[in-house]
Amino acid sequence: MANQTLTVWQQITVEFNGHSLTGSYAMEKGIVKVKTPFGEKADPSSPFNSEWVARRLLEELAAEGKV
């Protein structure tokens, strides 16, 4: 049996250009991942809080029109 871990996705919301936008984020193997129905982004874990990194990634997805 392979050793598998469960990835727990959490909802995250940011305000962007006057709109409330929602996505999901998770930590997986030291990488913060954010996804929406229209795209996803990932960033290696940094000294910052994973939720802060996830918010930044969601804002980047919004700027790209992927939210």
pLDDT value for 11: 97
Rounded distance between C-alpha atoms, residue 19 and residue 32, angstroms: 23
Helix (H) or strand (E) holding 62: helix 50-63
Identity of the residue numbered 57: L
- Residue 3 clears pLDDT 90, i.e. is over it: no
Long-range contacts for 47-53 (Cβ within 8 Å, ≥24 apart)?
50/25, 51/12, 51/25
Q: How much is the pLDDT for 46?
A: 66
pLDDT, tens digit, for every residue of 14-38?
A: 999 999 999 999 998 889 999 999 9
1 pLDDT more than 80: no
User: What pLDDT does 4 receive?
Assistant: 74
